[in-house]
A = this chain, B = another copy of it.
Amino acid sequence: MAEGATITGVQRRTVAEDVYNALKRDIITLRHRPGASLTEQELAGLYGSSRVPVREACGRLQQDGLLTNQPFKGYFVNQISLNEIGDCFDLRLLLETYALELAASRATTDDLSRLEEIAATEYTYHDWESYADFLDRNLEFHIRLAELSRNGRLVAILRDLLGGMQRFFFLGLDLGDFASEMRSEHEQLVELLHRRDPDNVISCVRNQIQSSRDRILRALIDDRIELPLR
C-alpha cells in the first residue's frame, strides 16, 4: 500500500510517481532541510513537471509525515525533534517485536531462505549516494521480515513508520562505518528465526533497535544537525 499505481506488483512509470520518489529521497537525504519552504510551483520547476503530479506527490508525503501544508503559504519540510524520534522508536520497538513474535511461529523455511538473499546489503562509508540506496534495501529487508507475520495491516503500518524514519537513519549512517555491523545484525536475525528461537529473536531485535536509536541520538548530539529540542 502507499505505493502509487500498481499492477499486481509491477509499477507503472508515471510522472507523479517519479516526483514522489525524487522528492522523498531529497527530503530523506536532507537535500531539503527540515523547516524548508516549498511551493507547488517551485517543485514543479525543480522536478520538471506541472503542478498536478506535484500535488499528488506532496499529498502522499504529507501522509508519510515528511511534509506539512500551510494553506496559501506552501509546504514545509517537517522538523526533526527529539520527541518525535523517541516516539517513533518506541513504536518501532512495539510493532517490530510483535511482528517478529508472529513471524517466529508463522514463517516457513522457504520464507527465511528468500529473506537471506536481501539481508546482505551494505553501504560505502562517506559515499552519500550509496546511503540512499542502502536505506531503500534496508527498508525492504525490514518489510519482508514484517511480512512473515502474515498480518498485512501490520506490514502497511510498519512500512509507513519505517519510511518516515528513513531521515533519522540517514543521520546515523554518516556517523561511522556501521555497514558490516548492520549486515551481520540482519543475518543474525534470520539465523535465529531459522532456529525457531522466539525469545532470542525478540531480544535480538530489541537490542538492534536500541543500538539504532543510540546511533542516531549520538549523531544528533555530535551536532551534525541543528534541531529544535522539543
Q: A residues near B, CB below 8 A? A: 1-2, 5-7, 12, 52, 55-56, 59-60, 62-63, 65, 69-71, 84, 87-88, 90-91, 94-95, 98, 151-154, 156-157, 160-161, 164
Given A59-B59, A87-B153, A153-B164, 20 more pairs with CB closer than 8 A: A1-B63, A2-B62, A5-B69, A5-B71, A6-B69, A6-B71, A7-B71, A55-B56, A60-B63, A65-B153, A65-B156, A84-B153, A87-B151, A87-B152, A87-B154, A91-B151, A91-B154, A94-B95, A157-B157, A157-B160
Q: Whole-angstrom distance between the alpha carbons of A1 and B55 in the complex?
A: 16
Which residues of chain B come closer than 8 Å to A60, judged between CB atoms? 59, 63
Q: Whole-angstrom distance between the alpha carbons of A150 and B95 in the complex?
A: 18
Q: How many copies does the complex hold?
A: 2
Which residues of chain B come closer than 8 Å to A65, judged between CB atoms? 1, 153, 156
A1 touches B154 (CB 8 A): no
Specify the chain B residue showing the minimal Cβ separation from A149.
B87
B153 touches A1 (CB 8 A): no
B56 touches A59 (CB 8 A): yes
- 19 A–B contacts, CB within 8 A, in A order: A1-B65, A2-B62, A5-B69, A5-B71, A6-B69, A6-B71, A7-B71, A12-B71, A52-B52, A56-B59, A59-B59, A84-B153, A87-B151, A87-B152, A87-B153, A91-B153, A91-B157, A94-B95, A153-B161
Which residues of chain B come closer than 8 Å to A7, judged between CB atoms? 70-71
What is the distance, in angstroms, from A8's C-beta to the closest C-beta of chain B? Answer: 9
Q: Whole-angstrom distance between the alpha carbons of A220 and B68 in the complex?
A: 40
Which residues of chain B come closer than 8 Å to A1, judged between CB atoms? 62-63, 65
